[in-house]
Structure 1
Amino acid sequence: MSLLQSARAIAHTLLSHYQGQITDKVLLSVIEKASAINIVEGQTFDKQELFEILRADIGIGKGEITILSDKVEPWLNDEKVNINFELWNRYKLYIFKNDPSFPVNDLDDFTDKILDKCVNPKNPGIWDRRGMVVGHVQSGKTSNYIGLINKATDAGYKVIIVIAGTISSLRRQTQERIDSGYIGRNSSAFIQTGQNRLVGVGTYKSGTDIYSLTSSYYKSGDEGDFSQSVANRLNIPIGKNPVVFVIKKNKSILENLIDWFSKNENTREVDGTPKLFDVPALIIDDEADAASVNASRDINDIKTINRLIRTLLNIFNRNTFIGYTATPYANLFISQVYDEEQTTIVKGRTYKIGEDLFPRDFIINIKAPTNYIGAAKIFGYENINSEFTNEPLDIFRGISDYDPPFFSTINRTNKDVLPENLPPSLESAIKSFILVCAVRRVRGHKNKHNSMLIHVARLVRWIDRVAYLVNKKTREYKNAIESEDITLLGELKAIYEEDFLPTTKNVLDNLDYTDIRIKEHTWDEIKKELKKAVSKIEVRSVHGTRSTANLEYHNIEEIDYNRYENGLSVIAVGGTRLSRGITLEGLSISYFIRTSRMYDSLMQMGRWFGYRTGYVDLCRLYTTNQIFEWFNHITMATEEMRNDFDEMTITHQRPKDFLLKVRNHHGLLTITSLNKLYFSREIEISFSGKNPQTTCLLKTKSAIQNNFNALKTLIATIGFPTKENRVENKGRTRYLFYPNTNIDALCSFIDAYEIEQPSIRNATLSEYIRKQSRENKIKEWSICIISNTDERVFIDYNGKTPRNERKTNETLSTYELTHNDEVITMGCIVRNQQIERKSEFYWISKQQIDQTSDRYFDLSKDKDYSKMTYAEIKAQRQAEKKGLLLIYGLDERGTPSVNNGIPIVGYSLHFPRIDDEIKVSYTATINKGFDEEVMIDDDNPETENE
């Protein structure tokens, strides 16, 4: 640890005890104290740099936690005086030592709240608790549940079982994290040789010995997962010292563990099934949406993994089960109906299967801190309750040149047609990765890990061939850089100056937290580091095959960052093993073209989510426009689902109420596999309190003309409003307002509107509006056509101009509406396409079409809405039972390949919250494209070995 890092750690320790507001004066005082404590003869550190680092650290907005629970009595606060939190305290010290800026206090608070929802392990009798923790992809949930199991063990839980995904490498990675953060010794060394090799928290004193019956050991035939022979050899008594198991979701492993527990001396037969008595167990299901959910439409036809996890839980007469996931859609559809007498046979013995895994007792939603780079920041969705809209970070790069040599869909007819070369976009991505490695060296990250992800297929032969071609091209670039090839250096310089520098400016302009490590650098600075940067890069083929026989590319060694103290720079080519759970350290460049049939799978594939301190501006996501648009849709649906969750916590609703909410959500129609929806493909849709907006508008000439015609037809039907309902500004029309308008005309406009946005379904919207109006659930509907009255506007032609450099220097674009020989000139609203990409859609982020001042135009005029929050405005809309349709004519300039001379029409609907709404039914179908993914990808020997 450098002197600066040491001073930072000391400063954070001092700040953690400070109760008041942390001002610059406080920071300067703390720095002086840290400087006095942190004295090393002959060494100094830059106090101004530390000041800037600390300001950035404390400027990061903390995450928050919200909870839905069903009659769970709190116990932890009263019990704390009787608990010695020695394991938690050493884990806290360990985290702090590794990263002084880590929000340990937040983790302490979060894990307290989760533990409080678990059963007090000292409670007598029989108890069973089911819950779920919803985080974000790559947001630190492993740190969270390691903190939880430390506290749970301090409180008295004796058996900890972590079910760590379906992939062996992910299980080992989790085991290593638990070795360091919980056990305190190398599990492999202990199990193989009996050595007590201390790691992580083991360097801090503790009076509790924790034993692991699994390890991170790895060789052919022994992957360190649970083995009855190993467990019997170690002969660790269950129920005395804490015992932890880190296992894979695998039929054989689960059966062996069930069989082993059933032979324990404390196990006896009760009502025809083995029960292990008086051993409080905490079972964590990591990636709880993967494999754990019963993917069967018949509740009596229970799939293997689901059946075995339920059987394992049912062995313990005292257990708490918590599923951790970032994509909880499938879990919320789990049936709460089950046959109490249903049994299964494991290794010749009969067991009752027990209740399904629905989180009946509690669901906890963890919001990520502001420095988390998640879907909302990448795909341009903002919380609809927010008063402001931030643009997405400019890191997406659309690709369309991959087919050929790759295929959009790999199927039985083309699976043997392996690529002979790489598409130019992938070559550009590799060059960008070389630049990233060089820039990070300039920023002082010489010993940090750098990773690039390439995900094009699941077939081993394809992964192998692509890795071979990528390695060949990377070597070519290495040789060219070492020989100072003018052509390649010129290409790298062009990418850096035309892409990297503008993106850094954009990120600095739009990032909602301070990162002093992000800086602009000259090409000469970068060029000096290219040789050293590229020399460290290696290509790994990640598919699980252990033999290089029949492979073209032989570097299949598992990626183990712990072995590289000076940093590993790796290009990882793979499929499933890269798409769920595994963390790629220092991931910056992602090249991703493989689709998924389910949105939850697609979101989990987002390995580019996470914390990118000091280099988020260098990150790039190369993918197709279609995949980007799918991600945008699932992001919108997920964020709205989280908003619903938060609102339901205020009214103290239960997990089963949230289940109903999700099932009725208009944005979640094709989220998960329909096999996981027990009940029916028929789903009831709700728009209560929602704000559907057209954010993905077709750019074809026919669609633009059709939607403009729909607006003109609406005007022909309802005419122009009376003079008092025409609002002017600067002598120009600003609003055309139609209070208490004709419902049929409004619905006809929606029905005629052409759109392919997944969350907008015209027939469903108009049917819902008509149903609420017939039953007087919505008192009246109004229409407001919005015009722009600015004299001059800013058009961002390349999508990359930083906000602080924007100038209104273009003439306002206008269009005309006509009725009965009267002509009204309307100004086009400027909603530039945010990111330069060749797409069939005019793409704008959620809420950008909709301005705050427009949302309350129809509401009573006796309130100052400019001082109200969006939540308060929604409450007022609910009270007045009013619905509003806002229509915008959008400026086509700044949108590539569009030049029709007419506006691109978009709209936004505002529904009031309706307590007793009349829902509409929708027959769910899998989106076109999802069901096209070749079936040979599933359970086929040609695909990756898990």
Structure 2
Amino acid sequence: MTTPFTEAHLAALAAMDKLGRPADLVGMAADHAKWIDGDITVDANALLDYLTTAGVNDPLWSQLRTQTVVWDAAVGPGWADSTPANTQQRRAVITRRLNLDEPTTQLLNTKIPVAGIELPTVIAREWTPWYTDEIRRHRSYYWNHYIDHLQRNGWAPDARASLDIATDRVVERLTDPTQPEAYKAKGLVVGYVQSGKTANFTGVLAKAIDAGYRLIIVLTGTTDLLRAQTQRRLDMELVGRENILAGIDENDPLATDGLDYQLDKDWIGRRFLEHGTLPRRAGRPNIHRLTTQRGDYKSLQQGIIALDFPRRDEDRPIYDPANLFTTDARLAVVKKNASVLTKLVADLRKSAARTEDLPVLIVDDESDQASVNTSNPKKWQEDQKHRTSINRLIAQLLGMLPRAQYIGYTATPFANVFIDPNDAEDIFPNDFLISLARTPGYMGSADFHDLDSNDDARNFANSNEKAHIRILPPAPSEDDHDLREAMDAYVLAGAIKLYRRENGQGEFRHHTMLVHENMKTAVHREQAERIRRLWDMSGYYTSTAHERLRILFERDHLKVMQARSDGAPVPDDFAALAPYLAKTIAQIGESGNPVLVVNSDKIEGEDLDFDQNPVWRILVGGNKLARGFTVEGLTVSYYRRVTKQGDTLMQMGRWFGYRKGYRDLVRLYVTKELYDAFEAVCRDEEYFRSELRRYSEWVDGRPQVTPAQVPPLVAQHLPWLKPTATNKMYNARLTERRSPGRGIEPTAYPILPNDIADNVETMLPLIETATQRARFKLSKARDYPAYIGLLPHAALISALDALRWADNDNFAPDLRWLKTLTPQQIEDWAIIVPQLTDQSPTSKILGNGPFSLHKRQRRRSPYFGAISDPKHRLAADRIAGVDSSIVDPDADAWRGPGRGSVMLYPVFEGNEPLIHGDEATPGSLVICFRITAPPSTQPRNGRLITFVTQDSRRPTKAIVDAS
């Protein structure tokens, strides 16, 4: 409950929100206090006293945190005096404009440190900005209600601020719904698997309706389960209670008969968003639903009037503000099914006269599924393009709605960016591609791998793999030992959740395990029977089972919890956990059946409804659980299904998501082949996102790349695992990648001994150069020995050009760039051979040395994991003129204008290197390297990429970015 003092300051912050900038907090609060309670004292001392004693959940602290984070991250606001976002300089402007005294400023900066919210990455064409601060402030009815709903449901201020920023980046790239010229903007928003994309597009819909979009079409996945889940989410968080009732008296049983949610526990508990009145009565548009949770889109027939948008002024088009802001919005949540979409297209065609001037927004969830045209161009007749059914219907929607905007949402964007950008009717994101930031608390693919670790002493604390991954044999054992262990891990995790709940951790409503071995629905029933038999045979109520669980607990769960519980309660021993086991086993087998089959056809057993019921079950499934659908409470996954498409594989990672309070309990039982495949596609994904970040900065007021130039940024780290299906891939090839001041570390070294030996010979000029001794800093207190020498640029290029590779494309774009560097940009290279100080093996290399040999392994053949030690990079980067936080006199002595650095690592695989006498066998020693070019190699035009791609209008011509 708020006090008058709190209300006055909250009112001041609300006024600042409408102003769009920070202002005198105490002064504005004092003005509001006169209207609230003239007897309260509002001054700087009172504010400091209040904030010093208020708790973390205090409403004033909460709102102040939200506003501060938004101001911190705002991009280029006029009030910010040109300070960069998320910096102390920006924060100083904020506290100065808030007119806070020094003690209050210090308290605010301590309690609300600069969050450093990662901003979305935007690749876009030039566009005319229209989504102004004034529109954001004055047309924010649905957005304000949505964000307030999220706050009431526990969303942290940082998360709300991040969502506000991300949704702004999307909406501002759409076309102004009131502009006279019709323009179809098409874009793609890339999130992470199960990372909150629905929350983002719900916010985008709220802001779009506020801005003037009046027909909203949401294309969901291909299953009824996912469509119903999406409809309910939008109804609950956007549409709201009043729009659903549409004037019906909810206390009249006859009037509400057949209402979607009359038996819904969240509806009965009034957890659906409430606007307080019908929005139309507040001067805002109502939202009319063309679909319900129970029913997909149906032909309107005589109800076609539902698509009628009345105009206040018949002489003006609908998009004119005089009409647009006095008409209501329509919402259709539609499954991507040809029959359903055909009905929608037919009704819109009948209503063409009503909708041709209508601002329309189409959101395509899981846009790389079904929406992409996968017909083979080689089979097309001349000048006649064939489309798959869903793609054809989406193209028809876009064609008949001149003011339609299209936004695809996906976590796996490769199929979308490989679409022909010159197909005007297709869904290629011509106008913008936005990569959403990873949000706090999210557990994604990188959290299950040690991507850049070469630490041999890995443990539960420093290794994601040791903490979460349990490798399965290639084929299931006859006695299902591994599956039973996974079930035991699931039972233990459930008991730990109950223990944590009783010890103040919070509620764990759902607790699920996923078994995914096959996509065929006929197999799922057999798998479920196998699990039921195994459950019955496991004797969970017996002392034998308890002993088995105790061993697993002490060997696995206890050690991981001790390393990674992050403050969550941890049982001291198995005896402390034992009382919770019986309750866990009873809850899992509550109906006499611990297993539910969830496949593309149906759900066998009880209803799987995470919204209505607590679900503590083992789920067996395939495609239905492989994309879009959120498996709540997922803690243990047993996964064996193989696929050769990276995006398909990533979408099947249902273990990604938010695991608040039980992150340390998550286990993935998976084969080594599949684990390596997930690591490869994780690297593909991270590479794509990092490349987008590199090229998102504009140069000379223009974008470095546009969405049509994005395909070359897609990588493939595993030869047999393509980014997406062959029938979705667009022909594009990266030719040159420029990396001034950034380390280049190729990993695709040859496997054949003859090729490896030839590379040793090729790198001999570099090895012979490094003869002088040096000691470089590992940290302020520690250093390491190295050999070093200088090599002219031409000699380095000659050696690198002669190297052999297992994958030529791994290094070729970098080498092409290095070859273009001029004497004015680069003079020579410092060749550094780091030496180890422990008892690691050493040997001579073709008579030179001896040198330390470094053990590395290929995480996926032929690719090594990380080669260079991050601590060694400090000196190498400092020599190349790249800033380092560690002062290093020896490194400074080797610095020079136009000088880069090359770190050499003689690498052996296996347990021991092959050494005869004091000389390593050349065919057993891989000479790996990391190159850092100096800042002087920065291209004058600022561009970092050139490429070759194909234009479908001229299929035999190569289009080269000559600049």
2:573 maps to which of 522, 525, 529? 522
Matched with 1:720 is 768
Q: Does 1:92 align with 2:147?
A: yes
Equivalent in the alignment of 1:215: 292
Does 2:490 align with 1:443? no
TM-superposed CA distance for 1:260, in Å, is 0.7
- Return closer, same or farther for 1:55/1:377 CA change in 2, 3 Å cut-off: farther
Which residue of the partner structure matches residue 805 of structure 1? none
Structure 2 residue aligned with 1:315: 400
Task: Tell me the distance in 2 between the aligned counterparts of 1:242 and 1:34.
Answer: 36
Residue 543 of structure 1 and its aligned partner are, at CA, apart by 1.1
1:417-432 → structure 2 map (5 Å cutoff): 423-432=480-489
In the aligned structure 2, how far is the partner of 1:623 from the partner of 1:685? 36
Q: Counterpart of 1:593 in structure 2: which amino acid?
A: R
In the TM superposition, what whole-angstrom CA distance separates every residue of 1:832-886 from its partner, at most 9, and x where no partner exists?
Answer: 99xxxxx88799754x6342543763875777644699xxx9xx99x94857363
Deviation (angstroms), 1:438: 0.7
Work out whether 1:746 is the aligned partner of 2:770.
Answer: no
Distance 2:174 2:809 in 1: 45
Name the structure 1 match of 2:303: 232
Q: How does 1:261-280 map to 2 (within 5 A)?
A: 261-264=348-351, 267-268=352-353, 276-280=355-359
Spell out the pairing of 1:117-196 with structure 2 (5 A cutoff). Answer: 117-185=173-241, 193=258
Partner residue of 1:535? 586
Residue 559 of structure 2 corresponds to 502
CA drift at 1:712: 5.1
Maintained 8 Å contact 1:165/1:249:
yes
| C-alpha contact (below 8 Å) 1:289/1:327 kept by paired residues | yes
Q: 1:290 aligns with which of 369, 381, 385?
A: 369
For residue 928 of structure 1, what is the aligned residue in structure 2?
none
SS at match of 1:583: coil
2:727 aligned with 1:675? yes
| Contact 1:782 1:885 (C-alpha < 8 Å) held by counterparts | no
Q: Do the aligned residues in 2 keep the contact of 1:378 with 1:396 (CA within 8 Å)? A: yes
Q: Once the two structures are superposed, what CA deviation does each residue of 1:706-727 show, in whole Å capped at 9, x if it has no partner? A: 7875675456666633644776
- 1:577 counterpart letter in structure 2: K
Q: How does 1:520-919 map to 2 (within 5 A)?
A: 521-537=572-588, 538-546=594-602, 555-564=604-613, 567-651=614-698, 654=703, 657-663=706-712, 665-667=714-716, 670-678=722-730, 680=731, 683-689=733-739, 691=743, 693=745, 709=757, 713-714=761-762, 720-721=768-769, 723-724=771-772, 734-737=786-789, 739-740=791-792, 742-743=795-796, 746-747=799-800, 750-751=803-804, 761-762=807-808, 765=811, 769=815, 772-773=818-819, 782=829, 784=831, 786-790=833-837, 792=838, 812-820=839-847, 824-829=849-854, 846=866, 849-851=868-870, 853-854=872-873, 857=876, 865-866=884-885, 880=898, 882=900, 884=902, 886-889=904-907, 905=926, 907-910=928-931, 912=933
Deviation at 1:466, TM superposition (A): 0.8
- Kept in 2, the 8 Å contact 1:504–1:617? The answer is yes
Match of 1:493 in 2: 550
1:193 aligns to what SS in structure 2?
A: coil
- SS state at 2:156 partner: coil
Q: Output the CA distance in 2 between the equivalents of 1:94 and 1:248.
A: 26
525 and 749 in structure 1: CA distance in 2 versus 1, 3 angstrom threshold: farther
Alignment partners' CA distance in 1, 2:53 and 2:192: 36
How far residue 662 of structure 1 moved from its aligned partner, in angstroms, is 3.4
- Contact 1:743-1:770 at 8 Å conserved across structures: no
What number of residue pairs does the alignment pair up? Answer: 780
Aligned-pair identity (%): 24
Counterpart of 1:662, as a letter, is P
Question: Would the alpha carbon gap of residues 568 and 362 (structure 1) be closer, same or farther in structure 2, given more than 3 Å must change?
Answer: same
Which residue identity lines up with residue 904 of structure 2 in the other structure? L
Secondary structure of the structure 2 residue equivalent to 1:606: coil
Q: Within 1, Cα distance between the matches of 2:903 and 2:11?
A: 54
Counterpart Cα distance in 2 of 1:632 and 1:195: 43
Give the C-alpha shift of residue 921 in structure 1.
Answer: 8.2
Verify the 8 A CA contact 1:542 1:558 in the aligned structure 2.
Answer: no
Q: Structure 2 vs 1, CA of residues 922 and 594 (structure 1 numbering), >3 Å: closer, same or farther?
A: farther
Distance change in 2, residues 1:470/1:88 (3 Å):
same
Q: TM-score, normalised by structure 1?
A: 0.72
Report the alpha carbon displacement of residue 673 of structure 1 after superposing the two structures with TM: 2.1
Aligned letter for 1:327? T
Q: Is the 8 A contact 1:579 1:605 kept in 2?
A: yes
Q: CA 1:696 to 1:117, structure 2 compared with 1: closer, same or farther past 3 Å?
A: same
Structure 1 residue 335 displacement after superposition:
1.5
Question: CA offset at residue 583 of structure 1?
Answer: 0.4
Correspondence for 1:366: 436
Q: For residue 76 of structure 1, give the secondary structure of its aligned residue in structure 2.
A: coil
Distance 1:261 1:83, change over 3 A: farther
Give 3-state SS (helix, strand or coil) of 1:532's partner.
helix
Where does the alignment leave 5 or more consecutive residues of structure 1 unmatched? 4-8, 39-53, 218-223, 269-274, 339-353, 406-420, 509-514, 547-553, 756-760, 793-811, 834-838, 924-946
C-alpha displacement at 1:283, in angstroms? 0.8
CA distance in 2, matches of 1:732, 1:180: 60
1:579 deviation in Å? 1.0
Quick one: which amino acid aligns to residue 769 of structure 1? Answer: L
1:533 alignment partner AA: T
What whole-Å deviation, never above 9, does each CA across 1:33-70 have from its counterpart, x for those lacking one? 959999xxxxxxxxxxxxxxx99998986442232222
3-state DSSP of counterpart to 1:261: helix
CA–CA separation in structure 2 for the residues paired with 1:775 and 1:764 = 20
- Matched residue of 2:811: which SS? helix
User: Does the 8 Å contact 2:695/2:704 carry over to 1?
Assistant: no
- Give the residue type in structure 2 aligned to 1:481: Y
Is the 1:62–1:368 contact (alpha carbons within 8 Å) kept by the matching residues of 2? no
**Separation in 2, partners of 1:575, 1:65:** 32
Q: Which moved more, 1:493-502 or 1:389-398?
A: 389-398
Q: What secondary structure, in the 3-state scheme, does the structure 1 residue paired with 2:768 have?
A: coil
Give the TM-score normalised by structure 2: 0.71
Q: CA deviation at 1:439?
A: 0.6
Offset at residue 82 of structure 1 (A): 7.4
